[in-house]
Amino acid sequence: MTVNMTRVHKNVHPDEATLNHLTEAANRLVQTRRYQMGYPFDQETNLEGFYKWLIETGLCNTTLISVGSPYKEAWDMLDVDEFERAIVDFYAKAFGFPADSWWGFISNGGTDGNMHGLYFGRKYLASKSDLSPILYVSAEAHYSVQKLGDVLNMETRVIKALPGGQMDASDLRRQLDPTRPALIGIAIGGTFKGAIDNQDEIDAVLKDVNPPAYYRHLDVALFGGYLPWLNDPEANAVLNQAKKGFDSLAVSGHKFLAMNEPCGVFVCKKEILDTLHNVTVPYLDCVIPTISCSRSGFDVLKLYWRITTSGADGFREEAEHSLAMTAKLVDALKKRDIEPFVNRWSNTVLFKRPAAEMIHKYCMACQGDLSHVVVMQYFDEPLIEQLADDIAK
């Protein structure tokens, strides 16, 4: 069989029937995008300018892959490392890492960031002790942490959660093994209840029980996008590395950072890198600290576009807007005799399961007799009134 490459390259649209089918699907997706409220995706990504620029520059016809550390030097393959470094530096500063004390990269998503946190943590702990570490994570943390414990073949202890969803520090104290290194997966916040595990309480338990070594990874998938920008020093302090001392964190790009496809930001203490048994790849002529080989260079450009167009002030406005809209939804529900529950600094609003029709209409996430919606940047007052009316129906 001969392949007609000219046709492949020149054919800019599929045939008419296929195109119509695709366009129908696109119209449906665009029309219903504001009704995906159970999941923390910003449905007003405003990336038109970026996509126009990709076409204008011809980058839309280019393959762009990020490999390994964005801080590497002497690299021949096409790369966008300078922009990736700028993003990591921007977030490391927002997360209060002291000058020149961080390393990071743009990951393939929240789970990928957690995977690097747990893998780096295991390597770090192996450099401190010959004993195998135990992973501790609360029952309310995202399931990826337990799953990654399984992938990394680590003994995993699931710590009870308090009714609000925070890790129960007294159960951690009961389960923490004083003889083996501890890898703690800390949820900031939990997926369903939006609860922030209390790092001070966890630290106090670690100090008292005193395992041979410990490593704290923060899963900040959604909250990492807005906690540093809230006009509230106590909220900012939760994700301040210099104050809290955590070792690594993972943010999702496609949550508060409003990326339209999976990616994320991973940042860790620079010293952690020294404890990795880095794999030198002869044909790449360098050491690769990351796990997957190829990552999207376009995610890097898109995220760079986002932080340079929104900037700290834009993120501040969006963070305040989301929590203001959260408060409005809470009030609107109370006015309709529905008792909602929201954790501190959370934009996840929980309430008793409404009618099945509404659960499907708004794509709500449900657990037991509770449902939730996540109040993202695109929420406005008319949408909140409509949602509250429908929940009360």
Ligand X SMILES: Cc1ncc(COP(=O)(O)O)c(C=O)c1O
Interface positions with ligand X (CB under 6 A): 109-111, 142, 144, 191, 219, 221-222, 252, 262
Nearer to ligand X, 252 or 310 (CB): 252
Nearer to ligand X, 115 or 329 (CB): 115
Nearer to ligand X, 142 or 302 (CB): 142
Neighbouring CB atoms inside 10 A of 204's CB total: 13
Q: Which residue is nearest to ligand X (CB)?
A: 110
Compute φ and ψ for 60, nearest 5 degrees.
-60, -20
Nearer to ligand X, 110 or 297 (CB): 110
Nearer to ligand X, 92 or 257 (CB): 257
Residue 240 is encoded by which pair of tokens? Answer: 């301040």
CA distance 91 to 78: 24
Neighbouring CB atoms inside 10 A of 146's CB total: 15
CA distance 270 to 280: 19
Nearer to ligand X, 169 or 257 (CB): 257
| Region of residue 345 (left: phi > 0; alpha: psi -120 to 50; beta: else) | left
Neighbouring CB atoms inside 10 A of 98's CB total: 11
> How distant, in Å, are the alpha carbons of 36, 189, 318, 358 from that of 321?
18, 19, 5, 25
Contact assessment for residue 346 and residue 222, using Cβ atoms and an 8 Å cutoff: no
Helix (H) or strand (E) holding 113: helix 110-128
Nearer to ligand X, 117 or 340 (CB): 117
Contact assessment for residue 70 and residue 81, using Cβ atoms and an 8 Å cutoff: yes
- Rounded to a whole number of angstroms, the minimum distance from the CB of residue 180 to ligand X is 25
Is residue 75 classed exposed, middle or buried when 0-12, 13-18 and 19+ CB atoms within 10 A define those classes? middle
